[in-house]
A and B are shown apart, each in its own frame.
Chain A
Amino acid sequence: MLRCGYALFWLLGSVLLICVVSPVKGEAVVTHEGSHLKLSKSSHSNESQHGHSSNATGIPIISFKWHHVETSYLVAFWMIKEKKKYILPLANREVIEANHHVTSVIPESALLICFGFILGGMIWAADKVQTFTLTPTVFFLYLLPQVILDAGYHMPNKLFFTNLGGILVHAVIGTCWNAASLGLSLWGCQMGGAMGDLDIGLLQYLLFGSLMAAVDPVAVIAVFEQVHVNDVLFIMVFGESLLNDGVTVVLFNVFDAFVSLGGPKIDAAEIIKGIVSFFVVAFGGSLVGLGFGLLISLLTRCTKNIQIIEPGFIFVLGYLSYLTAEMLSLSAILSIVFCGMCCQKYVRANMDENSVQTVRYAMKAFANGSETIIFVFLGISAIDKVIWVWNTGFILLTLLFVLVYRFIGVFFLTWILNRFRLVPLEFVDQVIMSYGGLRGAVAYGLAVMLDENKIKEKNLMVCTTLIVVYFTVILQGITMKPLVMWLKVKRAAVTEVSLLEKLTNKMFNHTLVAIEDISGQIGHNYMRSKWKYFEENWMSWILMKPSARKKQDQLLDVFHQLNLKDAMEYVTEGERRGSLEFVRNENSIIDFKKKSESESFDINNANISNDHGVMSNTSRDPIPSVSLEMHEQTMKAVREAEAINAHHLLDQHLYKSRKQHRHRFSRSHFDINRDEKEVQEIFQRTMRNRLESFTSAKMGVKPPKTIVKHTQKEQQQKMPNGKSMDKAKTSYSGDEGSEGDSASGYDQSYMRATYRAGAGIENPAFMPDLDPMDLLQIPPWLAESELDSSMVALSHRAQVGLPRTPSNLRRLAPLRISTRSTDSFTLENIPDTQQMDSDQLPPPPPPRPPRDDGYV
């Protein structure tokens, strides 16, 4: 457990640093143990620094306590050095990514390795020794977990489990086949004398075969991400590469043990133990991962109040799952994969949206960084005289066998699988799967871990591994894309989410379950529905926040996404045009064009006349174009005037906080200036204003009761079917005719009310917004008595220009909300009491807009 504690300590310290620091942790720990210190000192700068400080101890006034700080000093230097060292590749990656036309031909991984060659050459030229190598410790403990965690966390679970059978067959049987066939064939070739005099026994060949067997997830991700093959093919290759790591590591350990034991001592019992250990290691690792995944889910369920650190949990616990599995000598890779896969759903549901994004980006950043470092170091490692032991026969035969047996294995296994698959894998898919068997850093890391004492030809093996890695990553990587094009492999379709599609998919699932029920079979769908039932009723209940449980349906998710997209588009458009007005304006215009019934124009005109105040009757002839024009003009004028008006009012009457823009620094919260007292005070003030306005309204103007009543009735009509607009119009057209000529304020406001009600605004307070004050022509800020009340009503006034007809509004359902919120934004600090009191009170009389002067 000590190791665990260490790891946790260092991890907590550095988990939020960028990934470039992560290798340092390893060195730091090691530095404590004092074993790798040589490595850090080997660089010039460190040595000189060391020299300086030890010379300086003679000065009496300022004593340098070098030994006191030695460790941390070195650590710090290491950090800087390592940062430089790692930032360089990262910067290079930026450069590479900037040139997209390069990466479209050559995959990044290949470019990075080539860059590693150059970098290694430079180091070689400067130092004449190989300073930097990718040590297995750094690779397995600090670079690999991030990449794998990212892969697991972003795994498309449904796809994965649908194809789990195929993936497992390829990962387990395929890998064993690769290892055995390669080892045996090489041994056979040596027996046949194909590669001269080599001191390698059968077991050692098998060991070599096992480390070469695994398809490398890092390399596969790097290449396939850029090729965009179809989902099923991708998940087959990717899933296999993830899961077979467990197999490889187990195989490697078993053969390693066998090699140590020596040939004669191996009996049936040992072999059986080896097989048992394989299952224990694989399933144990997965279980550890699942356990940690559940733990993460549980933790995020109750981190509502510490949102700042909740993303950290995922990294810390994910990493811990890796370390724990490693500590128990279970499969660490499987552990972290399943940890990520298990927690993803609940984490996304439980955490705040910001945290989810943070996790996503941090995860990608870590993974990308690690990936870059891994590939560059694979390149750098090549520039080392020691490892280059050439044996043409061995190397070429290995390359050949690796490729050939991969093809044979994939085709044979797929042939078997296709007899059971619903949609068989096609021939071209199989070719790509075989060709996608890239070897990578895992193989290299394992090769470096070989014990030189037991295996005499270690360097040859390392060298061969490197060549195989280069061959597969660079050559196969580069040719992958042309091959995919040439074979016309089905590519991943760029999908646009659509609600109907999602709904129909859901329906398909239910249908299939039902059909399986009817035809009396227990198939995939049946199992899936059972699992889903269990998941929804038990797992979610335990692992998810109650609030998140309600909206976990994907359909809602899609709906939310679509709405968000709309809103974003509107904002962008608004910013382009300078304001969001166009939403109101444009829609009303389009709408007028669409609806050319005289009735609607009647109302339009009424509306305009309303805006004009006095000239209600004169502009009543229903010529579409004219009224449109005028309407727009007036609207503009209204808006400008309104804006000035609003600013003035807000300036004068909004609550001015005494501590303006007091940005409070807080480690755990982002929000600023949310003093409870302040909010309280604002609330009270607003309430007082409301009360005043209420009394003044009651005493003074008394809006007719009918308005409220009508509007409410209307709303009820509107709710059940969305198209009550017409009904509303017809039902009120009579009144309109009779009252229209009177041109009183009430009438107009009444008509507006009906109109707006049709437009779907639920809040009755938004409706009547004209009052006798209109006729007095007093600028609002002069009418002292009415001011306070108008402050609130102003927001309603601003709503005049909302999209006008029901069809439009329904379309802009999300927008309606956003308009309202824009409004509340204008009146920033007024709490949401409008709804409350306006339901009961007659609406406060709004100010009279000043623009009449221009028209009268």
Chain B
Amino acid sequence: MGSSSSSRNKIPNAQELMDQTGFSSAHLLRLYDRFECLDRDNRGYLSPDDFEAVGGLAMNPIGGRIIDAFFSSGQDTVDFSSFVRILAHFRPTDRNRNKEGTQQELPNSRTRKLKFAFQLYDLDRDGKISREELLQVLRAMLGLQVTEEQLQSIAERAIQEADLDKDDAISFDEFKKSLEKVDIDTKMSIGFLK
């Protein structure tokens, strides 16, 4: 612990971050290394270009959306603490911690994970997934495999499945409800962040 705490000092407000995200100091260190690696100019923050330099993201159909998720609206930089907070969504839920009755909701709770996924759909951040937004996602994922008409009918159908209040869009509550049975903890978690 001695060596790690000494190197921990270079991370700004490490303790606070650990409390908020539930990451251990080893995780934070690892992420900090990665952050510095991404931050090629050592500016202390990342810009969208830094993300785009990551190899695999270019091939990812929703890579752009993921990058956008790191930048809260209006800003075009992300510092280390926001970076970690976003990644904390993907920490697996550990049961023991929840039982302790934590005062605040950790970012890796089910709702927060869902919220993250919801925001990936909701491009204009109006709290609703409109038909057009759904179509865009479909287009990105299905690509050239299908015709536009098919995409439209799929989007139509998907909206109707979830749309309870018949406003032709999916609100977060409806989204949450329709994914009730999905094991979000497994599907939105990454092993190494445990």
- A interface vs B, CB < 8 Å? 420, 422-423, 493, 495, 498-501, 503-521, 523-526, 529, 533, 550-553, 555-556, 559, 562, 722, 810-811, 813-814
Contact = CB atoms under 8 A, between A and B. Distances in A.
B21 to A, nearest CB: 13
B159 to A, nearest CB: 8
A810 B62 contact: no
Which of A507, A552, A559, A562 has the most chain B CB atoms inside 10 A of its CB?
A507
B84 to A, nearest CB: 10
A509 B189 CA distance: 10
Contact of B117 (A511, A550, A551, A553): A511
Contacts of B164: none
B154 A505 contact: no
Interface string B63-78: 1001000000000000
A559 B185 contact: no
Contacts of A499: 154, 157-158, 161
A507 B116 CA distance: 11
Q: Which residue, of B117, B150, B153, B178, has the highest number of chain A Cβ atoms within 10 A?
A: B153
Contacts of B37: 520
B145 interface: yes
A505 B114 CA distance: 11
Nearest to A520: B34
26 contacts: A422-B92, A423-B92, A423-B186, A498-B158, A498-B161, A499-B161, A500-B175, A504-B117, A504-B179, A507-B137, A511-B117, A512-B188, A515-B190, A517-B55, A517-B57, A518-B57, A519-B190, A519-B193, A523-B191, A526-B56, A529-B56, A555-B138, A555-B141, A556-B146, A811-B156, A811-B160
Which of A420, A504, A505, A526 has the most C-beta atoms of chain B within 10 angstroms of its own C-beta? A504
Contacts of B56: 513-514, 516-517, 526, 529
Contact of A511 (B51, B92, B188): B188
Contacts of A550: 145-146
Interface in B106-141: 117, 120-121, 131, 134, 137-138, 141
Nearest to B116: A511
Contacts of A511: 62, 66, 117, 120, 188
B1 interface: no
Given A499-B158, A523-B192, 13 more contacts: A420-B191, A498-B161, A500-B158, A500-B170, A500-B178, A501-B178, A503-B137, A518-B66, A519-B31, A519-B192, A533-B59, A562-B157, A810-B156
A723 to B, nearest CB: 9
Contact of B60 (A498, A513, A556): A513
Nearest to A525: B190
A513 B66 CA distance: 10
A503 B182 contact: no
B154 A514 contact: no
B162 interface: yes
Nearest to A496: B181
Interface of B: 31, 34, 37-38, 51, 54-57, 59-63, 66, 87, 90, 92, 117, 120-121, 131, 134, 137-138, 141-142, 145-146, 150, 152-154, 156-158, 160-162, 170, 175, 178-179, 181-182, 185-194
Contact of A523 (B120, B137, B161, B190): B190
A722 B148 CA distance: 13
B62 A521 contact: no
A499 B162 CA distance: 9
A553 B160 contact: no
Given A556-B142, A810-B156, A813-B153, A505 B57 contact: no
B33 to A, nearest CB: 8
**Interface residues of A: mostly helix, strand, loop or mixed?**
helix
Contacts of A514: 56-57, 60, 62-63, 66
Given A515-B87, A517-B55, A507 B117 contact: yes
A232 to B, nearest CB: 9
Contacts of B185: 423
B143 to A, nearest CB: 9
B141 A556 contact: no
A517 B190 contact: no
Contacts of A533: 59
Nearest to B193: A519
Contacts of A505: 182, 187
B43 to A, nearest CB: 17
A500 B193 CA distance: 27
A538 to B, nearest CB: 16
Contact of A722 (B146, B152, B186): B152
A703 to B, nearest CB: 28
Contacts of A562: 157
A493 B55 contact: no
B34 A519 contact: yes
Contact of B138 (A503, A510, A512, A529): A503
Contact of B157 (A420, A512, A515, A813): A813
A811 B66 CA distance: 32
A203 B186 CA distance: 45
B189 A422 contact: yes
B156 A722 contact: yes
| CB-based closest 10 A-B pairs | A517-B56, A499-B158, A514-B66, A813-B153, A520-B34, A508-B187, A500-B158, A422-B191, A510-B62, A521-B192
Contacts of B157: 499, 559, 562, 813
A506 B188 contact: no
Given A495-B181, A507-B117, A553-B142, A500 B188 contact: no
Contacts of B63: 514
Given A526-B56, A553-B142, A515 B179 contact: no
B19 to A, nearest CB: 20
B52 to A, nearest CB: 11
B62 A507 contact: yes
A420 B194 CA distance: 10
Given A422-B92, A511-B62, A813 B57 contact: no
B179 A500 contact: yes
A410 to B, nearest CB: 21
A500 B162 contact: yes
A813 B156 contact: yes
B54 A517 contact: yes
Given A422-B194, A511-B62, A515-B87, A503 B141 contact: yes
Nearest to A426: B95
A775 to B, nearest CB: 39
B182 A500 contact: no
A503 B158 contact: yes
A499 B62 CA distance: 18
Contacts of B154: 499, 555-556, 559
Given A500-B179, A518-B51, A559-B154, A508 B188 contact: yes
A808 to B, nearest CB: 11
Nearest to B37: A520
Contacts of A551: 145-146
A796 to B, nearest CB: 22
A813 B161 CA distance: 14
B69 to A, nearest CB: 9
B191 A524 contact: yes
Nearest to A421: B191
A403 B89 CA distance: 42
A510 B63 CA distance: 8
Contacts of B54: 517-518
A507 to B, nearest CB: 6
A516 B59 CA distance: 13
Contacts of A423: 92, 185-186, 189
A810 to B, nearest CB: 5
A508 B117 CA distance: 7
Contact of B190 (A420, A506, A516, A529): A516
A510 B189 contact: no
A515 B142 contact: no
Nearest to A524: B191
A499 B155 CA distance: 9
A569 to B, nearest CB: 14
